[in-house]
Structure 1
């Protein structure tokens, strides 16, 4: 969780979040019409009752799903002769799963902060805050990469030989990691641990340089809105619309319906998870710019709304394994083979394992065909 402070002659505001660009008001005294402080006890109670169970549930779901994806991908890679021998989508899928897994692992630390305060020290505060920002950015950018790869493969029918050389995808992923690491440097530099005067709780928060707080805050929120939502959404919309139009001229009516349902599901779930959060963040930015009239009701609505919608956005890292992994026929087959091996190690399903081991796939496990990889229902 992240607490940021800003001061002016008329107000003192403490804001709490998990990341550098999420703001929630936890304690503020404003020069409103009645010159009375806004009540925050009820909001604070809601935070402490909602955040811990929400973060632990997201952690469990995301951890299980993404660990499965990583194991299946790595198992498939070990069956190949080279790390650069399978599809670009599989490479992006692996990096997406790693990013979501790293994000999930740090959520229990923020949940504990709501219960006991930050007890992990300043160094861990900086590391965890940087990991949170890093993986939020990386996750959505890898989603955009997956959609763009599918666009090239299906709409433009990029040659198989070029697409199977995933060393290019590895370079792309490395560039994304490095760029997002640069963005997360804000947390490493500005994060610290402080004690709240209200109840003595220690919190991990971002403390910007006095006099530049508003500038930094608006800059980070603009970057989050652009790189963490707007740009990936535009890429996904463009690529998936073009993909569906291309499939309409080559697929059967049944396949068109299934393809359309899949595309709508991918875009709709991304919007449902991240659009509400970014809408609240945009409202918060307008409030900081004083383009909206401050009030206790609006502050409380923003506090609760940002926390709830942020949790909804984090849930997306638990849904990605279902949307981008299990939807693939080859992925499911590889997962079944892996489960048979696990069962066989306990003396179970040995006959099934022996039958399945002779049918090892030689294609991308996220695909049914090279030109319809990951959109397996379209083949």
Structure 2
């Protein structure tokens, strides 16, 4: 029976406890069962807590991003100004991360107990998970490419960089990811499986009637290539070119830009590279290109479970990287908090407000700054 790894795409670590591997002694006539009670116990104690924590952080961070962007836009010309390109991608990124976070409490309940929300919710939540996981990563690549055009090709790419093209790019990403989520709509089902001690629970998972191994490997390869490989190459190319173009900047500007570039790429790689490595290993194992016994399967199962939660934490880190690191964003957030608290001169905002009156304010991505900076990201 095919081995199922503990990904949220399957929403369970295993199909049942009847996985068998050949024993070390080839003379023995029977296969030895791979007991997975320890994996199941670990998942029950680990996943609910992590998913709830990621949900809370992602919810708070992305709600703040949406509120700040909306408040800033409304404060400019009575709310009539259009979103800049970076604003547009940040808005869609925040929406994507927020929708992804909303699916996590459902699966936290499943890990802690069982699936109790019905088959319709199973299909919808699975589709939302896939849709927003891929779209969030692709929006990060779009932000990188937009910064590349704004800084490296600041003069020649003016015709390429307008809000209409940004909206078209966002629409294409949503449509593409919606197509990927059709697999969940079609094949996600609530199924009853046996766990420890023949106890039966209801699980929301992918069920393929035929060619299960081919389907699983195919989905894992799409995840690795579209959900990690291509976006990583785009980010690396764009940020390397950006850093080279800033070599003539002052030492302080270059140092600040280098720190930002390293942090953006490093956090993306740290969050998603381990999970995709385990995806590749599991695919090779399914295709019998890598041999391993019970211990190997246990390491892959637990490793995939842990690294997937690490990848999901990226939706909680995005607001920090692409919003709070921006000087203008932080100032607007401070103004919003000050207005809510009704305090005068809090955090030195009085002097900043007086300086702001003397200096006209542009968009989050004003043309004056984006030739030498990351606009909202600095």
Which segments of 5 or more consecutive residues in structure 2 lack a partner in the other structure? none
Distance in 1 between residues matched to 2:291 and 2:161, nearest whole Å? 55
Give aligned pairs, total: 362
Q: 1:192 to 1:377 in 2, by over 3 A?
A: closer
The offset of 1:313, in angstroms, is: 0.3
Q: Output the TM-score relative to the length of structure 1.
A: 0.88
Q: 1:12 to 1:319 in 2, by over 3 A?
A: closer
Distance in 2 between residues matched to 1:303 and 1:15, nearest whole Å? 5
2:280 matched residue in structure 1 = 282
Q: Output the TM-score relative to the length of structure 2.
A: 0.89
Q: Deviations over 1:150-180 (max 9, x none)?
A: 0001001147965773122112111111110
1:203 matched residue in structure 2 = 203
Cα contact 1:86–1:164 (8 A) shared by 2: no
Cα contact 2:86–2:376 (8 A) shared by 1: no
2:28 is aligned with 1:30 = no
2:141 is aligned with 1:144 = yes
Is the partner of 1:117 in helix, strand or coil?
coil
2:345 is aligned with 1:371 = no
2:120 matched residue in structure 1 = 123
2:132 matched residue in structure 1 = 135
Cα contact 2:279–2:304 (8 A) shared by 1: yes
Bigger Cα displacement from structure 2, 53-62 vs 78-87:
78-87
The offset of 1:257, in angstroms, is: 1.6
1:7 matched residue in structure 2 = none
Q: Deviations over 1:318-348 (max 9, x none)?
A: 111111111111111111111122112xxx4
Q: 1:366 to 1:105 in 2, by over 3 A?
A: farther
1:4 matched residue in structure 2 = none
1:73 matched residue in structure 2 = 69
1:8 matched residue in structure 2 = none
Cα contact 1:334–1:365 (8 A) shared by 2: no
Is the partner of 2:200 in helix, strand or coil?
coil
The offset of 1:213, in angstroms, is: 1.2
Distance in 2 between residues matched to 1:61 and 1:14, nearest whole Å? 29
**Aligned pair partner of 1:41 in 20, 37, 41:** 37
Which segments of 5 or more consecutive residues in structure 1 lack a partner in the other structure? 1-10
Cα contact 2:369–2:375 (8 A) shared by 1: no
Q: 1:270 to 1:15 in 2, by over 3 A?
A: closer
Cα contact 1:24–1:306 (8 A) shared by 2: no
Distance in 2 between residues matched to 1:277 and 1:73, nearest whole Å? 32
Is the partner of 2:332 in helix, strand or coil?
helix
Q: 1:189 to 1:137 in 2, by over 3 A?
A: same
Cα contact 2:127–2:185 (8 A) shared by 1: yes
2:237 is aligned with 1:248 = no
Distance in 2 between residues matched to 1:270 and 1:135, nearest whole Å? 16
RMSD of aligned residue pairs (Cα, Å) = 2.5
Q: 1:99 to 1:165 in 2, by over 3 A?
A: same
Q: Deviations over 1:7-36 (max 9, x none)?
A: xxxx3545543125x884363421412611
Cα contact 2:322–2:376 (8 A) shared by 1: no
Bigger Cα displacement from structure 2, 24-33 vs 39-48:
24-33
2:289 matched residue in structure 1 = 291
